[in-house]
Each structure stands twice: as C-alpha cells, then as structure tokens.
C-alpha cells in the first residue's frame, strides 16, 4: 500500500476541539517516517477556531520539528453559496496550504440544495485555495465532473479525508464515488488525516483501504511525498520544503 509522507490537513489544540501541540503532531509524524505535515487549524468563523492572530504569527513555528517539515496552513470555512471563504487575502498569500471546507455551524448559504457544484466552482476560483476539504459531506452533495475537472485544470486538489471514515460515516459512500470519478478523470487528490489529536497524524488507514478497493492509481495521490506536492502546485505557487 502506498505510503503518504506529507499530511496536508492536521489540527492542533489551537482549535479547541483538537487536543495536541504541533510538537506532539510532528513527533508522531516522525515516528511514522513522514516528511512533512501542514498545520491547518480552523479559520475564525467556526466557533472553536483560534483568533486571527494565530495565522498572523505562524512564522514563529520552526520549519522543522523532530526532522519533520512544517507547512503553514489553514482550514478555511466556505461561508456562502458563492464559495466565499473566511480568511483575508493578506494572510492567505503567506500560507503554504489552504484547505477550504464547508462546516455546518458557519455555512450561511442555502441549506438542502440538491447540488452545491456552483459553490465548489466558486471556491476553486479563489486563487489561494489549494485543496477542497472533505467534500464527501452528505449535507452538501454536488455533481462531480465539472468541479473535479476544474480542480485539475487549476492545479488544485480534491481531498480524500481519512477522518470522515470515522467522524462523518454518512459521507463514506460519497468519498468513494468522488475517488472513483477522480480515477476516471485523472484528477489529483490529497489523502489527509484531518487529525484532531497527534495519534491520528498520518493515520489514513480507512481512506487507503477504500482507495485500494477501487484500485486508485498512486500517481494521482499528490501528497504522497513533499516533492510531488511541490511540483504539482508549482505552476500556481511555491510552498516550503
């Protein structure tokens, strides 16, 4: 089974529903032989997010801890039907990894739509968004093809979120369908832990099991190592590493 050396979606105790420090995350990542982790705490609109100063001061964090490279990031909230996110441009432009996800408590767009594809297309128009987070959510279904192909064209990634297989079980079938369509359309993905505690950093087993079942091609897992990730993003941006 493929080993994924760069986890581009991890939380720390700066998000109060997560429980570990950056040092603890990095030490677990090191013990698993990983190259890099992105610290992507929640952007301010969700109730348990850190203050905006958290993102202003990310450069205080060493670029390498326990031999693991640290990428500065955010999990931004998609807050309306147009795909607007809750982070200002002056911060977005400083970040290595911007994941954008819909979270129920701070999505103020229309609920119960049959198709949120136009919302995700709007998110992809934001030049700073790198990865669409946990889009398998059962509450926000979308017709896949146009979104996946636009992500590919713009050198962005669709996330397969390992945490969803435990915390959002109703989205598991959607995750499989999205991965299957990425395979068919040759669209790159990021397999992420979305860890909320250090022990889950680099823990992707449920996601990898599903990807193995559908014979997902390893070469489309763009965070399998840091060099591959950097090269994939290179037409749009330079990330640390």
Nearer to Zn ion, 139 or 183 (CB): 139
**At closest approach, how far in Å is the CB of 235 from Zn ion?**
26
Count of CA atoms in the C-beta half-sphere (13 A) of 231: 11
Phi, psi of 32 (to 5 degrees): -100, 10
Task: Provide the token pair at 121.
Answer: 């297309």
Span near Zn ion by CB under 5 A; candidates 101-109, 113-121, 135-143, 204-212? 101-109
Number of residues that bind Zn ion (CB under 5 A): 3
Contact criterion met (CB below 8 Å) for 221 and 185: no
Phi, psi of 140 (to 5 degrees): -130, 65
194 lies in the binding site for Zn ion (CB under 5 A): yes
Nearer to Zn ion, 96 or 194 (CB): 194
Q: State which of residues 24, 45, 75, 200 lies at the interface with Zn ion (CB under 5 A).
A: 75
Query: What is the distance of C-alpha 157 from the center of its chain?
Result: 8
Nearer to Zn ion, 18 or 220 (CB): 18
Nearer to Zn ion, 140 or 233 (CB): 140
Span near Zn ion by CB under 5 A; candidates 97-105, 106-114, 168-176, 198-206? 97-105
Near Zn ion in 4-43, by CB under 5 A: none
For residue 147, the SS3 value is helix
159 lies in the binding site for Zn ion (CB under 5 A): no
CA-based radius of gyration for the chain: 16
Nearer to Zn ion, 35 or 41 (CB): 41
The CA distance from 237 to 241, in Å, is: 13
Task: Provide the token pair at 97.
Answer: 């990894």
101 lies in the binding site for Zn ion (CB under 5 A): yes
User: Residues interacting with Zn ion, by CB under 5 A?
Assistant: 75, 101, 194
């Amino acid at each position: 089974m493929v080993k994924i050396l760069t986890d581009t979606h991890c939380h720390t105790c700066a998000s109060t529903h997560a429980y570990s420090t950056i040092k603890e995350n990095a030490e677990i990542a090191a013990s698993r032989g990983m190259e890099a982790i992105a610290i992507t705490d929640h952007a301010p609109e969700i109730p348990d997010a850190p203050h905006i100063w958290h993102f202003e001061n990310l450069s205080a964090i060493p670029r390498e801890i326990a031999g693991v490279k640290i990428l500065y990031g955010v999990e931004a909230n998609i807050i309306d039907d147009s795909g607007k996110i809750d982070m200002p441009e002056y911060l977005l432009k400083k970040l290595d990894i911007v994941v954008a996800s819909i979270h129920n408590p701070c999505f103020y767009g229309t609920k119960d739509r049959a198709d949120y594809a136009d919302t995700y297309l709007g998110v992809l128009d934001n030049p700073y968004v790198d990865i669409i987070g946990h889009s398998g959510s059962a509450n926000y279904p979308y017709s896949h093809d146009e979104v996946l192909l636009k992500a590919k064209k713009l050198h962005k990634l669709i996330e397969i979120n390992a945490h969803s297989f435990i915390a959002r079980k109703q989205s598991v079938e959607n995750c499989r369908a999205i991965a299957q369509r990425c395979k068919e359309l040759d669209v790159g993905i990021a397999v992420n832990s979305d860890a909320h505690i250090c022990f889950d950093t680099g823990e992707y087993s449920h996601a990898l099991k599903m990807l193995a079942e559908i014979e997902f091609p390893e070469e489309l897992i763009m965070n399998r190592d840091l060099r591959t990730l950097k090269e994939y993003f290179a037409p749009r941006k330079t990330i640390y590493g």
